[in-house]
Structure 1
Amino acid sequence: MIKRRRLLQMGALGLSASVAPKVFSANNHTPFIKNINGKKPLVISTWDAGISANKAAWEILKNKGRALDAVEAGVMVTEGELHNCCVGLNAYPDRDGHVTLDASIMDEYGNAGSVCFLERIKHPISVARRVMEKTPHVMLAGSGAQQFAVEQGFPLEPDKLSEDAQKAYKEWLKKSEYKPVINIEHTRGENAFAAPPVRLSNGAFNHDTIGMIAIDAQGNVSGSCTTSGMAFKMRGRVGDSPIIGAGLFVDNEVGAAVSTGLGEEVIRTCGTHMVVEAMRHGASPEDACRLTVERIVRRHTQEELKNIQVAFIAIDKQGNYGGYAIQKGFNYAVCYADDYNKLIDSKFLLP
């Protein structure tokens, strides 16, 4: 019988053989060159919603606060927005007319907490943190997650849709089609799921999941992710956002990654874990995201890919950052100073 230590050694050799060549020669790309201009502290987050979220996170980071506190405070801004189709209680409902929320958080020690299928709680990211800090578990779901939240002092919010969500849901019911459209955050004033046009009352952009990762002045990394999931999804559907290693992964020896887009594809690939492991084997954050996007793309035909968008952002321990997407249209917000909080258009794979 092979002893456990020998088995682990063989596994490590197998990983090096299968991962390292891809990291340094995938698709004939030149070897990765590390950026030596990393920033600490630093916070990055998905989509244009990240600009406002980054501001809250930066207030903590610039005062030498903990990255974990920053990534919680940052995404809470997005959870509380009044006009947002895809994050928080004001978001679009599932096909039965109920808003259900997913969230996860992970700290520099490898601790993690998440909630999924949570209803009537304004800040699921904070409940996820309580799961991490107050229970022996990683994930709580549904009514159990809600019960835990109430026991922890979170109030139950009214069980009703926002004005924007109610309008969108009524329009969707006319056809009841479930057909996600990529890059919904750039579809101004339209229902992103094949219903007739619905304008948000303030004309704001729609937003997908918000994911946030940060490195603090002490060099520690943490991350968060929160969403209401796909609009008009089947009741009970859970995406990648609350799943550690899919929607979010942090390894304080290496860095962190977070995802956005079609969650099922991220889950099937264990996407953010793959990004972090690519960085462990020498890839820059951007190249690690690209390699993972390529892995997803290889599973599909060109016709299938027309309706699939997945994107990743990542940071490493040196404060370097990057992102990559399947399709054009993804962007992410980067903040490392009072006067630097900017939106960056991500590189993408498909023409």
Structure 2
Amino acid sequence: MSSRRKFIKQSGLASLGLLAAGSQSGQAAVRKIKAGKITKPLAISTWKNGMQANVAGWEVLKNGGRALDAVEQGVMVVEADPNDMSVGYGGRPDRDGIVTLDACIMDETGNAGSVCALENIKHPISVARRVMEKTPHVMLAGAGALQFAKEEGFAEEILLTEKARKEWQEWRKTSDYKPVINIENHDTIGMLALDQKGDISGACTTSGLAYKMHGRVGDSPIIGAGMYCDNEIGGAVATGMGELVMKTLGSFLVVELMNQGLSPQKAVEEAIARIVKKIPGYQDFQIGYLAINKAGEVGAYSLHKGFNYALYANDNNQLIDSDYYLK
């Protein structure tokens, strides 16, 4: 087993050769983040909307709360924000004008819950947690997920805001479907937390691709794709074009690479390298990864310029630009 791990670790490092020229600034950024020693707890979230998610999560963490509660409370802020049109209430609809939501959550014991294609419920992350804690299943979908949510006391609400409806009606004039890099019509809020006990949990929630086919589900509710945690190793979340993440099981890959000895930064770079190597046309899409390990080290990397993330540690919440592959 030790020889196999050594081989996998060396292979992972070797494949990073194709990223070597573009990775130095990202590593420098991580070193800068860690200039003052990061101590537990910490919260890290994708995109600018992660700043407000981190603030809510930090209220839990600073008082000795559980990482699981921190990530749920954090992403709920974004789910409830009608001005964020890629998550929850106010999210852009599918091509039929229907808002469908996906989410997953994972705790420090390895338990996980997920919902996909959920309609009319503002906080899919909380429904996902109920799936994890109250059912023998991991994922519920569509009408079944809605039925379960209602049985658990969640109220149905109209999620399509007037702004999102007008944008959809404008789109229908051409029905031209073109996902645009870094335009927040296909992004998520992904969040990881390390609490004072050293436990790691993660959450991911989205309204998915704007104007997608009805029934389309991306990576966000899939354990191992949009998010994955192993409390002995670390956690990872993904954002961007979910199909590319699903084809490479990106978040599980990042955590497994950390298990083989790579740092979070090297692990996320290798996950991008897999996409570059294996998926034709990757240049047309954006993918970003975040990772943390048990030591509180962080990693961030993306295909294109424009991905940023929020890090709350040492009583400081900051928005940081990720390094990227395509220069």
TM-score using structure 2 length: 0.92
Q: Give me the whole-angstrom Cα distance separating, in 1, the residues matched to 2:297 and 2:73.
A: 22
Q: Specify the alignment match of 1:180 in structure 2.
A: 179
Mark the CA change 1:27 to 1:250 in structure 2 (over 3 Å): closer, same or farther: closer
**Aligned residue runs from structure 1 range 264-303, under 5 A:** 264-301=243-280
Displaced runs of 4+ in structure 1, greater than 2 A? 12-17, 22-30, 32-39
CA contact (8 A) 2:15 2:273 kept: no
CA contact (8 A) 2:5 2:260 kept: no
Q: Give me the whole-angstrom Cα distance separating, in 2, the residues matched to 1:116 and 1:13.
A: 40
Secondary structure of the corresponding residue to residue 295 of structure 2: coil
CA contact (8 A) 2:105 2:204 kept: yes
CA contact (8 A) 2:38 2:314 kept: no
Q: Is 1:153 aligned to 2:156, yes or no?
A: no
Write the deviation string for residues 44-94 of structure 1: whole angstroms up to 9, x where unpaired.
Answer: 000000000100000000001000000000000000001121100311100
Report how far residue 300 of structure 1 moved.
Answer: 3.8
Q: Specify the alignment match of 1:168 in structure 2.
A: 167
Q: Give me the whole-angstrom Cα distance separating, in 1, the residues matched to 2:69 and 2:286.
A: 30
**Aligned residue runs from structure 1 range 18-57, under 5 A:** 19-28=8-17, 37-57=37-57
Write the deviation string for residues 225-245 of structure 1: whole angstroms up to 9, x where unpaired.
Answer: 000000000000000000000
Mark the CA change 1:27 to 1:113 in structure 2 (over 3 Å): closer, same or farther: closer
CA contact (8 A) 1:23 1:282 kept: no
Report how far residue 255 of structure 1 moved.
Answer: 0.3
Q: Give me the whole-angstrom Cα distance separating, in 1, the residues matched to 2:4 and 2:314.
A: 42
Cα RMSD, aligned residues only: 2.0
**Aligned residue runs from structure 1 range 121-132, under 5 A:** 121-132=121-132
Report how far residue 26 of structure 1 moved.
Answer: 3.1
Q: Specify the alignment match of 1:195 in structure 2.
A: none
Q: Is 1:305 aligned to 2:282, yes or no?
A: yes
Q: Specify the alignment match of 2:323 in structure 1.
A: 347
Secondary structure of the corresponding residue to residue 117 of structure 2: strand
Secondary structure of the corresponding residue to residue 298 of structure 1: helix
Q: Give me the whole-angstrom Cα distance separating, in 2, the residues matched to 1:278 and 1:147.
A: 38
Q: Is 1:241 aligned to 2:220, yes or no?
A: yes
User: In percent, how many aligned pairs have the same letter?
Assistant: 56
Report how far residue 15 of structure 1 moved.
Answer: 5.8
Secondary structure of the corresponding residue to residue 306 of structure 1: helix
Report how far residue 286 of structure 1 moved.
Answer: 1.2
Q: Give me the whole-angstrom Cα distance separating, in 2, the residues matched to 1:40 and 1:326.
A: 29
CA contact (8 A) 2:275 2:282 kept: no
Secondary structure of the corresponding residue to residue 179 of structure 1: coil
Q: Is 1:221 aligned to 2:200, yes or no?
A: yes
CA contact (8 A) 1:45 1:332 kept: yes
Secondary structure of the corresponding residue to residue 341 of structure 1: strand
Q: Structure 1 counterpart of 2:99, which letter?
A: V
Secondary structure of the corresponding residue to residue 150 of structure 1: helix
Gaps of 5+ in 1: 1-8, 186-191, 193-206
Report how far residue 307 of structure 1 moved.
Answer: 1.4
Q: Structure 1 counterpart of 2:325, which letter?
A: L
Mark the CA change 1:134 to 1:21 in structure 2 (over 3 Å): closer, same or farther: same
Q: Structure 1 counterpart of 2:172, which letter?
A: L
Secondary structure of the corresponding residue to residue 272 of structure 1: helix
**Aligned residue runs from structure 1 range 44-193, under 5 A:** 44-158=44-158, 161-185=160-184
**Aligned residue runs from structure 1 range 192-207, under 5 A:** none
Q: Structure 2 counterpart of 1:24, which letter?
A: L
Q: Structure 2 counterpart of 1:146, which letter?
A: L
Report how far residue 283 of structure 1 moved.
Answer: 1.1
Gaps of 5+ in 2: none
TM-score using structure 1 length: 0.86
Secondary structure of the corresponding residue to residue 22 of structure 1: helix
Q: Is 1:211 aligned to 2:190, yes or no?
A: yes
Report how far residue 16 of structure 1 moved.
Answer: 4.7
Q: Give me the whole-angstrom Cα distance separating, in 2, the residues matched to 1:251 and 1:45.
A: 17
CA contact (8 A) 1:209 1:228 kept: yes
Report how far residue 337 of structure 1 moved.
Answer: 3.5
Q: Structure 2 counterpart of 1:97, which letter?
A: G
CA contact (8 A) 2:51 2:319 kept: yes
Q: Structure 2 counterpart of 1:151, which letter?
A: E
Q: Give me the whole-angstrom Cα distance separating, in 2, the residues matched to 1:25 and 1:296.
A: 16
Mark the CA change 1:249 to 1:168 in structure 2 (over 3 Å): closer, same or farther: same
Aligned partner (choices 290, 303, 317) of residue 326 of structure 1:
303
Larger Rg: 1
CA contact (8 A) 2:114 2:128 kept: yes
Q: Give me the whole-angstrom Cα distance separating, in 2, the residues matched to 1:317 and 1:62.
A: 18
